[in-house]
Amino acid sequence: MLDPSLELASISVKSINFLPGIDMVNFHQVDLNLLRVFQAILEERSLTRAGQRLELSQPTISYSLGRLRSLFDDPLFVRTPDGMLPTPTAERLAVPLGSAIASIREALRESEQFDHATTTREFRLSMSDIGEHVFLPPICERLERVAPQVRLSTEQIPVREVEEKMRLGQIDLAIGNLPSLMPVTNHALLFRDQFVCMTRKRPGLPLRALSRQKFLEFLHVTVTTSDSSHLAIDEVLRSQGLHRRIALRVPHFTVVPQILQRTNWMVTLHRGAAQMFNETGQFLIYPMPAEMPDIESTVHWHRNFDNDEGIRWFRELVIDTLHRD
């Protein structure tokens, strides 16, 4: 849907006084909604999906793309079997236009009074699939009580892309074990957790602890997420002379409990996630038979939005809801 606050606006923000590929005559005629269409096509690689995202008809999207092509005197996007791919001009425009939209949104939000009890604002989160299992239920439970009209959306974004999306205002908060974001974002510690190993409960297995030898006898499931804590498991084990035998590599945790229920395999994961998967008591959870570093779960936000009253309120709610000693 077109943003009513931007419908009649033209660009006049100091930080975007220059855009490559557009002369100053055309510059002052740019409808900000055209920039939103540009960004949606760039990210979706599809006119149909861009229209769905903005709640616009395909003819409206096509008309807007035609106006953009005229303004920049460039095709901007070329139809291919892989979708609408950006031209070199569009790629050069991507960063300044994204920054422009983020700056304007931030300026508009700063001028508004935020009331969590009545706002219908959508907050956008980046977290892994296991993060969705662990973090979302308590956050949603809290929001339903104190801010019933707030909307949430989550994305599973590669860590290397999170900072840029936060800087551009496409993601409000990132939650998880994300040490690479520490130097480039503001952040707060939520809690520390430990690695454990988990397997299907069955006769013949110890109930409390597992020896290193027994641990290495198992076939293991490993989750190859971009989360650095999981990528580091085998590196830490190898440093102690331990080498797991991997039976299955998967990109998400969601399927792991079903795999363990049907096999004698084992997975290594955070204690909190293991306890959540084991609500019915069908698994055995063991302390790791090797020295492993604690995992720090943190919430991150970009310093560009420190003055955004809505994001400030939401991150404080997240911290208050998830923080534990």
3-class secondary-structure state, position 287: strand
* Residue 24 sits in the same domain as residue 104: yes
* Residue 176 sits in the same domain as residue 259: no
Which residues constitute the domain of residue 180? 122-191+296-322
CA nearest to 284, candidates 203, 194, 192 = 203
* Residue 163 sits in the same domain as residue 306: yes
* Residue 28 sits in the same domain as residue 99: yes
Q: pLDDT digits over 265-315, tens only?
A: 999 999 999 999 999 999 999 999 999 999 999 999 998 888 888 999 999
Q: pLDDT digits over 155-214, tens only?
A: 998 888 899 889 888 899 999 999 889 899 999 999 999 999 999 999 999 988 999 999
Distance of alpha carbon 27 from alpha carbon 188, whole angstroms: 41
* Residue 289 sits in the same domain as residue 210: yes
Per-residue model confidence (pLDDT) at position 234: 86
Give the CATH number, domain containing residue 158.
3.40.190.10
Q: What is the mean pLDDT of residues 226-238?
A: 74
* Residue 78 sits in the same domain as residue 158: no
How far does Cα 185 stand from its chain's mean position? 14
CA nearest to 169, candidates 310, 29, 8 = 310
* Residue 248 sits in the same domain as residue 285: yes
Give the CA diameter of the chain.
79
Give the count of domains, the chain.
3
Q: pLDDT digits over 150-170, tens only?
A: 999 999 988 888 998 898 888
* Residue 300 sits in the same domain as residue 178: yes
**Whole-Å CA distances, 159 to 52, 85, 300:** 26, 23, 12
Q: Is residue 115 one of the residues assigned to a domain?
A: no
Per-residue model confidence (pLDDT) at position 9: 39
Per-residue model confidence (pLDDT) at position 111: 53
Per-residue model confidence (pLDDT) at position 26: 52
**Global confidence as pTM:** 0.68
Cβ contact 184:160 at 8 Å: no
Q: What is the mean pLDDT of residues 245-249?
A: 95
Query: Token pair of 191, please?
Result: 């809690």
